[in-house]
């Protein structure tokens, strides 16, 4: 479970984008049930304001619409209407600076590269990531 780097969202392979949607729903479900996402790679989301989570949800949902995927509008509304007192108060700027920073982008890139190397990502989708990443100055 992970929240893919925000800059990668437009370039995520289809499988990862649809998987991310399921993971967002799973995060909400785990928090509602257990009070925590219960996964080391995403537990820190509750340190941030719930607005940060909702902005991320909207980014994933909008990208799905751009690709003509059919993610559930009902589930999107449930996520957007969700209130949860467990979330902290760190803002989106801090989220980008401390979590979704250049180091995290590299980690995500290498995770995707490993998938591509093992034929888990179609060549065309990997090429889109490679093109994006090559333009970044990290």
pLDDT per residue, tens digit, the chain (138 aa), is 799 999 999 999 999 999 999 999 999 999 999 999 999 999 999 999 999 999 999 999 999 999 999 899 999 999 999 999 999 999 999 999 999 999 999 999 999 999 999 999 999 999 999 999 999 876
- Number of structural domains (the chain) is 1
Burial degree of 75 (CB within 10 A; 0-12, 13-18, 19+) = middle
Residues 6+ apart with CB under 8 A from 103: none
Is 25 a domain residue? yes
pTM passes above 0.85: yes
Give the whole-angstrom CA distance, residue 78 versus residue 75. 5
Tokens representing 61 are 């949902």
The answer to the question of residue 68 being in a domain is: yes
Cβ atoms of 90 and 47 within 8 Å: the answer is: yes
Domain ranges, residue 34:
6-135
Bridge partners for 48 per DSSP: 90
Question: Is 62 domain-assigned?
Answer: yes
């Amino acid at each position: 479970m992970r929240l893919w780097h925000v800059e990668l969202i437009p370039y995520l392979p289809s499988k990862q984008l649809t998987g991310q949607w399921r993971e967002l729903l799973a995060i909400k479900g785990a928090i509602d049930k257990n009070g925590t996402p219960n996964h080391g790679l995403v537990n820190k989301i509750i340190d941030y304001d719930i607005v940060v989570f909702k902005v991320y949800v909207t980014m994933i949902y909008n990208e799905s619409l751009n690709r003509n995927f059919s993610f559930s509008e009902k589930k999107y509304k449930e996520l957007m209407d969700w209130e949860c007192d467990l979330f902290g108060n760190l803002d989106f700027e801090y989220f980008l600076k401390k979590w979704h920073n250049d180091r995290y982008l590299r980690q995500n890139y290498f995770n995707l590269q490993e998938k591509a190397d093992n034929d888990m990502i179609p060549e065309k989708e990997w090429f889109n990531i490679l093109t994006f990443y090559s333009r970044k100055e990290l």
